[in-house]
Structure 1
Amino acid sequence: MLQTDHYTTASDFINVSEYLRINAERFPDKPALLYPVRVTYRELEEKVNNFSAGLSSSGIKAGTRTLVMVPAGTDFFILIFSLIRIGAVPVMIDPGMGLKAMISVLSDLEPEAFIGIPKAHLMRLINPNIFRSTRIMITTGKISLIRTASLNNLPGISNIHYVTHPADAADMAAIFYTSGSTGPAKGVIYTAGMLKNQIDITRKQFGIGSDEIDLCTFPLLGLFAICHGNSSVIADMDMVHPAKLDPAKVIKNILDFGCTQMFGSPMVLNKLAEYGTRMQIYLPSLRKIISAGAPVHRNILESFRKLVPDDAEIHTPYGATEALPVTDITDSELLLIYSDQHKYEEGICIGYPVEPLDVKIIGITDDPISALHNVTPLPVNEVGEIIVKGPWVSPGYFKRNDADINSKIRDFTTNEKWHRMGDLGKIDARGRLWFCGRKSHRVITSEGTLFTIPSEAVFNRHPHVVRSALVGIKPDGSGLKKPVICIQLKPGFHPTKKLLKELIELGNSSGITKGISDILFKKDFPVDPRHNAKIFREKLALWAAKRVK
């Protein structure tokens, strides 16, 4: 049952913590969280009400930038809803980016408040200079730290309604940092209106009803599930390092609680599919699967499809921290498209734009674009740069005017901003978007421009190849590069002269890759910790440059 009645009555508010209050009124005894602890909507609302008062008494108020370093769980959800209710600005950073990158990010952030587990506070004690602006420090643990209050000892209120901050749609509601897997980590500004629109569109686009049991593998979407009125199961996994997940534990979560929907990166789906297939496991309750964060390849869709009912839907939306979802498509259509094994050489089909979002393809340039009238949309099936505009697209980055200049295009006719996704693609005659790779990863040669996804698809056809990566090395004065294909082989296979010859012949058989003569073998590619799928091509290019004469 879709919650149309729920959202009609809630249409007059902007502060998304009100979703929790409404859900607590509608079904107070329903579990908001099922695992690892059971918390009803009434209990969660009471805790948020009390914590809002406690945090407010500590000095956190509307607009206070508050760094939150607490793992997904009961405390995390209570904290985020409480901060939003106050009107404070929760800031979330992916610890998977590494300590060095985090310190760099925090130096620019200048948080006014810091709430974290004791381990997170150690970073503050070791690097006090980056917390000079922080005047409020709170720990969620039982360990006492200097100048740090305990979250559980903050004064709360009982049986008194904490008044929700009346947010304006343009107010800064949160800052979510990108993972740094496709460039330096940046703080993406989420406005109150953007956050509300994102919650509403995910409910509508994926047909999410209030009776869903959600498997939470990503904290932000766990917040959405509570706003949608779902009951959430926190997956038994390290969400900071999802590549380390034990598929047996996650599948047990699904079976034990009868999860009806889940989000998982392609890497998570692949691990579950491999284990489920090997153990002959069936997941009868799972009806909605959403996978994003990296391209979802045909073999993953086919393998996971065998674990779930015929009427289950596997959605593979495209987007980024700055705009999600941008497009959507389900596996039923994708598997028809990819029945032709050479389809990936045209790019990866990532679906139809999610209305009312606007998507355009424009000419590729690395220069800033100051105004929309300076660009001309490209025709159907021509590869260019993807730009988007819509109600759940971020207006900009926190304290990164340079990034705003390079990523935003002003439409002076409507006074709106378009966001440059940093990705390359095309729109086909049916209105579907196809992804061809990151703009910064294209390789401009004397013969033309090579895009990563189509080029790599040629070499991925070889049965011994698990994946390949196109990189460019040794730029000359004109900016042209020499293309190199790096190859990762499947377990049990090793580089040989015969294999090298076969790969060169394979490359020459396609007009896309004809003439690429430099092929290198690497046991493992450097990849991002969050999705374990995005290849750090900059690192790979440096490695390749030392080996190509």
Structure 2
Amino acid sequence: MTLTTPQPAESAAQTTLQAGFVPFPADRAAHYRQTGLWTGRPLGEILRTAAQTWPGNIAVADAHPSHTFADLDARADRAAAGFAALGIAPGDRVLLQLPNSAHFAVALFGLLRAGAVPVMCLPGHRLAELTHFASVSGAVALVIADSAAGFDYRAMAEELVAAHPAVRHVVVHGDPGPFLPWSVLDSDAPPPAVRPATDSPALLLVSGGTTGAPKLIPRTHEDYVYNVTASAQLCALTPSDVYLVVLPAAHNFPLACPGLLGALSSGAATVFTADPSPEAAFAVIDRHRVTVTALVPALAKLWAQACEWEPLAPKGLRLLQVGGAKLASNDAAAVRSALTPGLQQVFGMAEGLLNYTRLGDAADLLDHTQGRPLSEYDELRIVDEAGHEVQHGAEGELLVRGPYTINGYFNAPQDNARSFSPDGFYRTGDRVRRSANGYLEVTGRVKDVIIRGGETVAALDLEEHLITHPAIWAAAAVPLPDEFLGEKICAVVVFSGPPVSLAELNAHLDGRGVAAHSRPDTLVAWESLPTTAVGKTDKKAIVARLTR
């Protein structure tokens, strides 16, 4: 659908982008350039360079015919021309919400080459999240599939556009309904000649949410190109590799650690699948001779177990990355035994810092640590509750700054005041212990979050949705251990009237547009919630009572 609302001028789009962006301090930016970490390359040039270096090699593949690097490069140019023809200007933000497919890569690079800033929405996000992203980012367009996994994205888009008329264009892959067809991104016009400032945001990632609604994470061209290329080098990606995107492609992990972008930068092929089940994924691995992929712990554990009954167990995987949550040591050993000895634990965050175990590390490190920092220029502090650095080997909260860690969330001054120290260190909310060799062990969390199947769910945000139900007087969302998800979501509620079932409660949350992965797995009714001495809900007491 195209409305006739006048489009903002290019300078206005770039001005509003910069207004919500916290840049790297000038002295640190100059240091990263002098040391060669920042190279002045726009993120979109990764594909251009690859197409010039390996034009005939397969770049991306899914269930449909594959695309070579040269073909993907040309398709990205046509998509960029199509976006520009719609009036999308450099600096404009565009919500990108596509399932795993080669079309995701085309749209991503088309937006980058048009100078737009993609907002990397996940397929599981619903109206509540997209409304928030549109409001915070000032998005002018949305790119979606018609439907996926039984959900009609067009119906959601109609509600979004009605509430946010600034979203002037909706482009749909598949049946467009009342919106614009995918063919608008197949333009014969010359692509726009845009070269963005490389210290400005290339894209906006989505946080898992820690103290409320998800936040937008501005990753600059400079820091993200370094993130991608350094990760690809550490993982020793080559043109002989085939990388499988199993997790949602808009996640930082399968996108850039090294992910799709790292594979493209190395001449490796990328295969997309939207079905992570062992039966389907193992068939894709066999058909495409996949050598590298990334999973969350719940999937890694399931895949390892499935090797006992699936006839087509993976062969040829040289590197299996596991991240998104801590992988238990016994599960790490099982993964190494059943799937590949090339296990790599990854502990990181979309805000920046990445820790990897290294290729060739001893089993003890692979099974019991979550790696060490990607860069020698990553600055880490581990502090106690008073903010003082702890003794070496002691446990504390991890703070970080460095060449690829953000300096502030987008358009979120209040969150930034809480999340960053006065000298620019990001407060991760993770509790860690650092060994003498620099490897980290994740020991817990400071922030009130639940990590369900690798997705970070803000308890506070969910609780705010729960108490909108007329039958609920008070609510607490807490994590409970789960064999397959790692943690499941338990809603402990105090009813003010006749109780409702879990299905009825989740139907209410669905009606509010809450993402599917953020809805409770279990519902417990209590007469009251325990409180601390200062009157806050005592979640430690709740979990202790539920797990004893």
CA drift at 1:129:
4.8
Does residue 53 of structure 2 align to residue 33 of structure 1?
no
Q: Which residue of 1 aligns with 2:113?
A: 85
Q: Which residue of 1 aligns with 2:362?
A: 333
Q: Which residue of 1 aligns with 2:407?
A: 395
Deviations 1:202-246 (A, max 9, x none): 112211112211111131232432233211121241xxxxxxx42
Q: What is the rounded CA distance, in whole Å, between the counterparts of 2:420 and 2:38 in structure 1?
A: 29
Cα distance change of structure 1 residues 332 and 274 upon mapping to structure 2, 3 Å threshold: farther
Q: Count how many residue pairs are aligned between Structure 1 and Structure 2.
A: 430
For 1:132-531, list aligned pairs within 5 A: 132-145=165-178, 148-154=179-185, 156-157=187-188, 162=191, 165-180=194-209, 184-218=213-247, 219=249, 220=255, 221-237=259-275, 245-279=276-310, 282-308=313-339, 312-329=341-358, 332-335=361-364, 349-356=369-376, 357-365=378-386, 376-411=388-423, 417-440=424-447
RMSD: 3.7
Q: What is the rounded CA distance, in whole Å, between the counterparts of 1:323 and 1:130 in structure 2?
A: 32
Q: State which structure, 1 or 2, has the greater radius of gyration over its C-alpha atoms.
A: 1
Q: Which residue of 1 aligns with 2:493?
A: none
Q: Is the 8 A contact 2:84 2:192 kept in 1?
A: no
SS of 1:303's equivalent in the other structure is: helix
Q: Which residue of 2 aligns with 1:42?
A: 70
Q: Which residue of 2 aligns with 1:414?
A: none
CA drift at 1:364:
2.1
Q: How does the TM-score come out when normalised to structure 1?
A: 0.70
Amino acid at match of 2:157: R
Q: Is the 8 A contact 1:329 1:350 kept in 2?
A: no
Q: What is the rounded CA distance, in whole Å, between the counterparts of 2:339 and 2:63 in structure 1?
A: 24
Q: What is the rounded CA distance, in whole Å, between the counterparts of 1:270 and 1:24 in structure 2?
A: 37
SS of 2:61's equivalent in the other structure is: strand
Runs of 5+ unmatched residues, structure 2: 1-35, 147-151, 250-254, 452-477, 485-505, 507-514, 525-536
Q: Which has the higher contact order (CA 8 A, sep 6+)?
A: 2
CA drift at 1:420:
1.1
Q: Is the 8 A contact 1:170 1:192 kept in 2?
A: yes
Q: Which residue of 2 aligns with 1:16?
A: 43
Deviations 1:456-480 (A, max 9, x none): xxxxxxxxxxxxxxxxxxxxxxxxx
Cα distance change of structure 1 residues 105 and 90 upon mapping to structure 2, 3 Å threshold: closer
Deviations 1:35-69 (A, max 9, x none): 32211111111111111111111111210100112
Deviations 1:404-429 (A, max 9, x none): 11111243xxxxx2211111122222
Cα distance change of structure 1 residues 547 and 335 upon mapping to structure 2, 3 Å threshold: closer
Q: What is the rounded CA distance, in whole Å, between the counterparts of 1:102 and 1:15 in structure 2?
A: 27
CA drift at 1:544:
5.4
Q: What is the rounded CA distance, in whole Å, between the counterparts of 2:336 and 2:53 in structure 1?
A: 35
Q: What is the rounded CA distance, in whole Å, between the counterparts of 1:56 and 1:26 in structure 2?
A: 27
More off after superposition, 193-202 vs 133-142: 133-142
Amino acid at match of 1:124: A
Q: How does the TM-score come out when normalised to structure 2?
A: 0.70
Q: Which residue of 2 aligns with 1:59?
A: 87
Cα distance change of structure 1 residues 197 and 288 upon mapping to structure 2, 3 Å threshold: same
Identity %: 20
Q: What is the rounded CA distance, in whole Å, between the counterparts of 2:321 and 2:395 in structure 1?
A: 27
Cα distance change of structure 1 residues 486 and 27 upon mapping to structure 2, 3 Å threshold: closer
CA drift at 1:282:
4.7
Q: What is the rounded CA distance, in whole Å, between the counterparts of 2:84 and 2:325 in structure 1?
A: 39
Q: Is the 8 A contact 2:355 2:370 kept in 1?
A: no
Amino acid at match of 2:43: V
Q: Which residue of 2 aligns with 1:73?
A: 101
CA drift at 1:131:
1.7
Cα distance change of structure 1 residues 98 and 54 upon mapping to structure 2, 3 Å threshold: closer
Amino acid at match of 1:87: G
Corresponding residue to 2:158 among 122, 125, 144: 125
Amino acid at match of 2:384: G
Deviations 1:16-41 (A, max 9, x none): 22121121122211111233221111
Cα distance change of structure 1 residues 532 and 202 upon mapping to structure 2, 3 Å threshold: farther
Corresponding residue to 2:136 among 95, 99, 108: 108
CA drift at 1:535:
12
CA drift at 1:103:
3.4
Q: What is the rounded CA distance, in whole Å, between the counterparts of 1:261 and 1:125 in structure 2?
A: 39
Cα distance change of structure 1 residues 533 and 431 upon mapping to structure 2, 3 Å threshold: farther
Q: What is the rounded CA distance, in whole Å, between the counterparts of 2:130 and 2:177 in structure 1?
A: 24
SS of 1:440's equivalent in the other structure is: coil
Q: What is the rounded CA distance, in whole Å, between the counterparts of 2:522 and 2:356 in structure 1?
A: 22
